[in-house]
Chains A and B, each alone.
Chain A
Amino acid sequence: MFTRGTLIYIAQRIVLIGFTVLAVSSIVFLGIHRLPGDALFNEKLRGQAYQVLLHHYGLDQPLYLQYWNFIVGVVTRGDLGESLVNRGTRITPLVLRETLVSAQVGGFALIFTIGLGLILGMVAAVRQNTWLDYVLTTTSVIGYSMPNFVIAAFLILVFGIWLGNITGGTFYYQLGGWRGDIGQLWLPAFALGFPYASIVARLTRASMLEVIRQDYIRTARAKGLTESVIMIRHALRNALIPVITILGPLVIGIITGSVVIENFFGIPGLGKEFAQSILNRDYAIVIGVFTMYAALVGLANLLVDLAYVVIDPRIRY
């Protein structure tokens, strides 16, 4: 499956990701330093104390030296610096821990998105032009028309407030447990994934409709296979290929969508940190989170491209 060519391709891509990450963090670093004011202003320090703080963060140095120290720190030690608001908090471990939390929510949302989308799309295709098909296609337009925070608000209203506390009154995700708690995760995952599930359903329906008219499906029927075996083993596998093409945008959509959803449900992940650090003007963390996001998106794209190879053996790099 992974030939030598593929491995070389992976290596090239990883080098490219490294350069992209460096470029993104440089743009944000230099861009941020053009902004007026800084987080330290909030502390209303004067004279000596302010100078001590500036020196502590190296902000008294000229910009090119700050930039050089930042780049050297990132490249050699993977060190993104220290939070400007919470003194003494190193950013790299913080961001890594938050990424783990986000990955759990996002991974759950992804499984949910693809699973639900495939099932709905398949059902709509098999029952083409029946009332069920119309209901499902209309629902899918509604699904991707609803912003994820609107879905989240209604989920909380219905399940968290009107139906009583199904989720135990808290959406706060407990740190520490590796697998998290499905009981707490399914609401955020649903809100995060539902718009994309609608898109997956639409695509699956369209490509299933094309596939099930082909000759080899008729052959399978003539052999006397049951309908479910034909649909799942023969039709779905080929219908999946167009669906994979949106896997990339889908993963990126879930990563960026998590910014809203994590703030909504109070999940202490990367997305919450992203919005909070911007509102707090904690520029050091803003740079760190952007860097992490650039790396994540690059890696996600790479994984998606590799998924093509696994699902469609005709593709080679």
Chain B
Amino acid sequence: MATAAAMVTSAIEPEQSSLWSDAWRRLRKNRMALVASVYLALLVAVALVALVYTPYRMSAIGIAPTYSGPSAAHWFGADELGRDILSRLMVGAQVSLIVGVGTQLLVLAVGVPIGLMAGYFRGWFDSVVTFVINVFYGIPDVLVAMIMVFLLGPSLNNIIIAIVATRWMDMARLVRGQAFSLREREFVEAGRASGAKPFKMLFGHILPNALGPIIIQATLGIPSAILFEAFLSFLGVGVQPPTPSWGSMANEGVLAIQYAPHMVIFPSVALSLTLMAFNFLGDGLRDALDPRSRR
């Protein structure tokens, strides 16, 4: 089926298209991924706007009747201290995005070099890395993160560090596998034969060819990091007040679920939509970058 489709397109448009423009074309056809990207662009815009403007100060208490529902002055209502929920949600978007993107950048910085070297050089270094990865996989991530936050103290930086400590092996293992198979290919041998240094081999030849799976993994890692932060905040060991996090807002809302359900509904919906958007985008990227792996 795939080859038939390829034949048809090549007959119609004879000019060559690179992997990336090909992937871009496939991604644009994926309606869910497109909707998700639009939503995420809006979310980033909201988070940026919240840097300079929120309808009310997010920590100002008593500016609305406590527990009051949505109204014209306060679109999403107020919480148990009379704080404006819309303003808090906007600042919460910053927290979620910083945690999601920040952890994945760190995971890339840690996992990619380790995975590349382990897969390319093999030998004792590979054995050590594989062993460490397996040890980390043996301990449940939530417990590791909670121990770390518990011992380091709860703050945004420590939460990010804790999440990276439980997530870096996903990336390292993936990159190691890619490097493992890529090093046997002819172009790598050609590169080595023409005298390229190991550094040049790793980052100039192996890495660009493993970029597709890495991008997919990083995109799908963002929602799991956001979920992790919400989970920690929900338990009260996450971001500390007055900084709002969607997880801690949902936690406060649960206590008032009987008479002020809007307090739990709005943060929950924001959180779910964001996680969903990242997952749809990641799935779309997978289909676009690796057309053979159909779900």
Residues of A within 8 A of B (CB): 20, 24, 27-28, 31-32, 34-35, 137-138, 141-142, 144-147, 149-150, 153-154, 156-157, 161, 202, 205-206, 252, 255-256, 259-260, 263-264, 275, 278-279, 286, 290, 293-294, 297, 301
Contact = CB atoms under 8 A, between A and B. Distances in A.
B140 A142 contact: no
Contacts of B141: 256
A202 B279 CA distance: 14
Interface of B: 32, 138-143, 146-147, 150-151, 223, 227, 230-231, 234-237, 247, 250-251, 253-254, 257-258, 261, 264-265, 268, 271-272, 275-276, 279-280, 283, 295
Contact of B142 (A35, A205, A256, A279): A256
A264 B253 CA distance: 11
Contact of B146 (A145, A153, A278): A278
Nearest to A209: B294
B235 A259 contact: yes
Contacts of A202: 295
Contacts of B264: 153, 157
A34 B151 CA distance: 8
B253 A153 contact: yes
Contacts of B32: 138, 141
Given A150-B272, A156-B257, A259-B142, A206 B235 contact: no
Contacts, number: 97
A279 B223 CA distance: 27
Contacts of B151: 31-32, 34-35
29 contacts: A31-B151, A35-B151, A138-B32, A141-B32, A141-B283, A145-B272, A146-B276, A147-B271, A147-B272, A149-B230, A149-B234, A149-B250, A150-B271, A153-B253, A153-B254, A153-B264, A153-B265, A153-B268, A157-B265, A161-B257, A202-B295, A206-B295, A255-B140, A275-B236, A279-B236, A290-B143, A294-B139, A294-B143, A297-B143
A141 B257 CA distance: 26
Which of B150, B236, B250, B265 counts the most A-chain CB atoms under 10 A from its CB? Answer: B150
